[in-house]
Amino acid sequence: MSEEAPRQDLVRRRSLADAWWSLVAIAVAMLFFFPIYWAVSTSLRRPADTFTVSGVGIPWVHFTPTLDNWLLEMSQPESFRAFTNSTVISLSAVTIALLLGLPAAYALARFKFFRVPNKDITVWFLSQRVLPPVATAVPFFIAFSTLELLDTRLALIVCTATFILPFVVVIVRQTFFDLPIELEEAALVDGASYLSAFLRVAVPLAMPAIAAAALIMFAFSWNEYLFAVILTIKGAATMPVHIAGGADTRGVQFWFVAVRSLIAMIPPVLLALLAQRYIVRGLTLGAVKG
Partner 1 sequence: MIRWTSRVKFLFLLPAVLWVLTFTIFPLGYSIYLSFHNVERQVVVSGREQVPVLDAAGNPVLRPDGKPRTRTEVQRELQTTFTWNQFANYARAFRDEQVWNAVRVTGTFVLVGVTTQILLGLALAWLFNRNIVARGFLRSIMILPIFATPIAIGYLFFTIFYEVGGPLSWTGVPWLSNPNWALTSVIIVDIWQWTPFCFLVFLAALQGIPDEMLESARLDTSSEWDLWRYVILPMLLPVIAIVLLLRLAEALKLFDIVATLTKGGPGIATQSYTYYAFNVGFKLNDFGYASAMAFLLLIVVMVIVTLFFRRLRQSYE
Chain positions 165 to 224 lying near partner 1, rule: CB under 8 A, are 165, 169, 185, 188-189, 194-195, 198, 219, 222-223
**Binder to partner 1 among 1, 11, 61, 252 (CB under 8 A)?**
252
Minimum gap (Å) between residue 3 Cβ and partner 1: 18
In this complex, which beta carbon is closest to partner 1, that of residue 67 or of residue 181?
181
Give the total of residues touching partner 1 (CB under 8 A): 108
Point out which span in 1-9, 64-72, 74-82, 258-266 binds partner 1 (CB under 8 A). Answer: 258-266
Q: Site residues for partner 1, window 264-283 (CB under 8 A)?
A: 264-265, 268-269, 271-273, 276, 279-280, 283
In this complex, which beta carbon is closest to partner 1, that of residue 1 or of residue 11?
11
Q: How far apart are CA 221 and CA 159, in angstroms?
A: 10
Q: At what angle do helices 153-178 and 118-130 cross, to 10 degrees?
A: 140
Closest CA to 197 of 68, 275, 133, 109: 109
Minimum gap (Å) between residue 190 Cβ and partner 1: 11
Closest CA to 163 of 100, 121, 211: 100
Point out which span in 24-32, 64-72, 77-85, 203-211 binds partner 1 (CB under 8 A). Answer: 24-32
Distance, C-alpha 61 to centroid of its chain: 34
How does DSSP classify residue 198?
I
Q: How far apart are CA 261 and CA 234, in angstroms?
A: 19
**Binder to partner 1 among 24, 60, 75, 180 (CB under 8 A)?**
24
Minimum gap (Å) between residue 285 Cβ and partner 1: 7
In this complex, which beta carbon is closest to partner 1, that of residue 210 or of residue 258?
258
Distance, C-alpha 143 to centroid of its chain: 28
Q: At what angle do helices 207-223 and 153-178 cross, to 10 degrees?
A: 150
Minimum gap (Å) between residue 65 Cβ and partner 1: 17
Q: How far apart are CA 55 and CA 8, in angstroms?
A: 44
CB-based contact 6:218 (threshold 8 Å) = no
In this complex, which beta carbon is closest to partner 1, that of residue 132 or of residue 204?
132
Q: Site residues for partner 1, window 90-149 (CB under 8 A)?
A: 99-101, 103-104, 106-108, 110-114, 118-123, 125-143
CB-based contact 237:228 (threshold 8 Å) = yes
**Binder to partner 1 among 1, 51, 148, 190 (CB under 8 A)?**
51
In this complex, which beta carbon is closest to partner 1, that of residue 1 or of residue 7?
7
**Binder to partner 1 among 199, 203, 205, 262 (CB under 8 A)?**
262
Q: How far apart are CA 276 and CA 46, in angstroms?
A: 36
Minimum gap (Å) between residue 280 Cβ and partner 1: 4
In this complex, which beta carbon is closest to partner 1, that of residue 38 or of residue 80?
38
Q: How far apart are CA 234 and CA 157, in angstroms?
A: 16
What does the chain come to in residues?
290
Q: Site residues for partner 1, window 58-97 (CB under 8 A)?
A: none
- Apex CA 89: angle with CA 214 and CA 91, to 5°? 30
Maximal CA-CA distance, the chain: 87
Q: Is residue 236 a contact residue for partner 1 (CB under 8 A)?
A: no
